[in-house]
A and B are shown apart, each in its own frame.
Chain A
């Protein structure tokens, strides 16, 4: 009886731990898109939701699946107020590229790891910019989106990567890592 209760408890914990990457993406997306700025809107908020996508795509792709990435991108789209679908497509395509080069990205450490994330974030921002530019071309009289704000967003995101990745590493070790069994 006790063994059954422990086993049931373990299953629940495993489900919770499997949901940690997804919940992290949602929470980070929520906090990054709270419409409060300490800089009067001069500096864009970071793309915090991309960090868990990148991190767990490398470490636990069984938990950060394409469907989870799609859902996190969708949340970013809803919360950010931009054109629908732009961040969803950008996140999914970034996931595809990172997943294809997992071994290369995962072998990086220290500053190289930050640069690895910077390249992934650059891909994400480039996809988003190209998508919005494509949508602008479909609209008569619309201008191409400026590149400057997108570069600012990229820089801020990379700056925030290190502390966010540390937090996720802690979460991974505490919640996700110890409960893995299917690696």
Chain B
């Protein structure tokens, strides 16, 4: 016992250091090539931990609230005044939104517009948070048995939080928008000028405000511009509210997120998948439909068989697919509430009561 702290001099390492270091380097490179190397182990662990996490969630949430109340108690009066003012302003916006919604409904009925594709949503609860230097994630209590799968968007009442990147049977891991590995295409709707839109890539860098990389170097942004998901790539629906543009350092632009992943408790997982858009058939092209000469010469088989009279389409026009009715990134912002109608917990900005 007296010599318990005596330092050992004999080291019988089973593997030489060089081999272990080489193995570690190989593991890093292998992990780069096969990014899902540990994924199964991770989701199995969280599936196994899920009951325990749900048990400890309530006291930790209570502790969080208690800690927050200590600081909030000193600013209750000012906070109350601010909320009253904000509530009055939001009621005005609610009236505007109702008027706009009625107008959009009327236009849609006049144009016989095809409604946006429906978004199925799964309600989930946050049972874990991990904020490490290289990963920021939430763990939800919904998995594949709740029809939640990788790639699906996760939103709370205020806006988008992130995407699912791992799904176990009972739990899912969410990669936050602030995570360094998060990159999603967004549309920036100008708040001033002629109301144009700008396409950009929003990248997380572990700071609370992700960066914006503009697709066009000549595009102009302004502080306060609205950022929504662009829907490019077909993985995320168009129009999910994300945040507003704020100036960053060195002339860059960042996004102040609407959602607060640090405090949110209940979220929705949007089950959305849009098939890649297929090019229209030749008979559906405007030139063909107008009876103009096609640019591509017809095949010999077509020439050999006598066809119908010019101008008459050989096949009836195909019905418009629901996916084709998704508003394009350049569409006016008034289309957004129609797509949000499918997500009950994501009301229009002016609809807060």
Which A positions have Cβ atoms within 8 angstroms of B?
33-38, 40-45, 58-62, 65-67, 69-70, 73-74, 77-86, 88-89, 92-93, 95-96, 99, 102, 106, 125, 128-129, 131-132, 135-136, 138, 141-143, 145-146, 148-150, 152-153, 172-173, 177-178, 180, 182-183
Contacts and interface: CB of A to CB of B under 8 A. Distances in A.
B132 A178 contact: no
A177 B4 CA distance: 5
A14 B173 CA distance: 41
Given A66-B17, A102-B7, A82 B132 contact: yes
A59 B34 CA distance: 37
Contact of B14 (A34, A60, A67): A67
15 contacts: A34-B53, A35-B53, A38-B63, A66-B13, A66-B16, A81-B132, A82-B132, A84-B37, A143-B180, A143-B211, A145-B134, A146-B205, A146-B206, A148-B207, A153-B133
Interface of B: 1, 4-17, 20-21, 23-25, 27-32, 34-35, 37-38, 41-42, 45-46, 49, 53, 56-57, 60, 63-64, 67, 127-137, 139, 173, 180, 183, 201, 203, 205-207, 211, 213, 261-263
A66 B28 contact: no
A142 B25 CA distance: 21
B262 A41 contact: yes
8 A-B pairs with the lowest CB-CB distances in the bound complex, closest first:
A84-B31, A35-B128, A177-B4, A85-B27, A85-B28, A41-B131, A89-B24, A66-B20
A77 B45 CA distance: 13
A38 to B, nearest CB: 6
Contact of A65 (B15, B24, B45, B60): B15
Nearest to B15: A67
Nearest to B136: A41
A35 B14 contact: no
A160 to B, nearest CB: 15
Most buried by B among A35, A58, A61, A82: A35
Given A66-B13, A135-B28, A149-B206, A129 B133 contact: yes
A56 B206 CA distance: 33
B133 A36 contact: no
Contacts of B13: 61, 65-67
B259 to A, nearest CB: 14
